[in-house]
Amino acid sequence: MNPKALLTSFVSGGIQSTDLRETKRIRTLNVFLLILIVIAPLVGVFYSLVGADLLFFTTITAALLGVSDILILRKSKNVPFAAHYGFFIFWSTLLIIRWNTGGMSVGTLMPLSWMWSAVLILMAIFITGYLGGTIWTIVIFVETGAAIHFFRKGYEFANLIPVEIVTTYALGAYLLGLLVILLIAFLYERDKDDAVDSEGIKALALHESKRYIDTIMETSPLPTFVVNNEHRVMQWNRAIQEMTGIREEEIIGKGVHESVCADDRWSLADIVIEEPDSIAERFSESIVGKADGGVFQLEMHFPALREGMRAIVTTAPLLDMHGSIKGAVETIQDVSDFSAGTQASPSHMNKAIEISPSPVFRIDSNGKISFWNKACEKYLGYSPSQIEGKSPLTFVSRPLRKPFRETVVTVFKGGSIEGREWKYYSAQGEPRYMLANAFSVLLADGKSKECIVVNTDITSLRMKISQLERDETEAQEQLRRLSDEYELLRKNLARYIRGKGPAEFQEEMVMRELKDEINSLKKDIADLKNA
Q: What is the CATH number of the domain that holds 245?
A: 3.30.450.20
Which of these three, 340, 372, 390, is where a domain ends? 340
- Does residue 216 belong to any structural domain of this protein? no
- Does residue 438 belong to any structural domain of this protein? yes
Q: What is the pLDDT of residues 179-189, one digit of tens each?
A: 877 777 776 66
Residue 422 and residue 483 share a domain:
no
Cα gap 429→440, rounded to integer Å: 29
- Does residue 307 belong to any structural domain of this protein? yes
- Does residue 317 belong to any structural domain of this protein? yes
Local structure of 384: helix, strand or coil: helix
Q: How many structural domains is the chain composed of? A: 3
Local structure of 451: helix, strand or coil: strand
What is the per-residue pLDDT for 212?
Answer: 57
Residue 472 and residue 433 share a domain:
no
Cα gap 207→200, rounded to integer Å: 11
What is the per-residue pLDDT for 333?
Answer: 79
Residue 375 and residue 493 share a domain:
no
Residue 7 and residue 76 share a domain:
yes
Cα gap 102→500, rounded to integer Å: 15
Which of these three, 429, 457, 485, is where a domain ends? 457
Residue 451 and residue 363 share a domain:
yes
What is the per-residue pLDDT for 501?
Answer: 45
| Complete DSSP assignment for 459-502 | HHHHHHHHHHHHHHHHHHHHHHHHHHHHHHHHHHHHHHHHTSS-
What is the per-residue pLDDT for 404?
Answer: 93
Residue 142 and residue 31 share a domain:
yes
Report the half-sphere exposure of 114 (CA within 13 A, side-chain side): 27
Residue 239 and residue 186 share a domain:
no
Residue 148 and residue 100 share a domain:
yes
- Does residue 215 belong to any structural domain of this protein? no
Number of H-type helices and E-type strands within the chain: 17, 11
End-to-end CA distance of the chain: 43
What is the per-residue pLDDT for 368?
Answer: 93
Residue 177 and residue 227 share a domain:
no
- Does residue 125 belong to any structural domain of this protein? yes
Residue 332 and residue 381 share a domain:
no
Residue 27 and residue 162 share a domain:
yes
Q: Tell me which residue range forms the domain holding 437.
A: 356-457
Cα gap 387→146, rounded to integer Å: 81
Residues of the chain with pLDDT under 50: 1, 109, 338-345, 500-510, 531
Residue 371 and residue 305 share a domain:
no
CB atoms within 10 A of CB 380: 24
Report the half-sphere exposure of 360 (CA within 13 A, side-chain side): 19
What is the per-residue pLDDT for 200?
Answer: 62
Q: Which residues make beta-bridge pairs with 291?
A: 295
Which of these three, 316, 340, 364, is where a domain ends? 340
| DSSP code for 510 | I
- Does residue 315 belong to any structural domain of this protein? yes
Report the half-sphere exposure of 214 (CA within 13 A, side-chain side): 8
What is the per-residue pLDDT for 351?
Answer: 60
- Are the C-beta atoms of residues 311 and 338 closer than 8 Å to each other? no
Cα gap 213→206, rounded to integer Å: 10
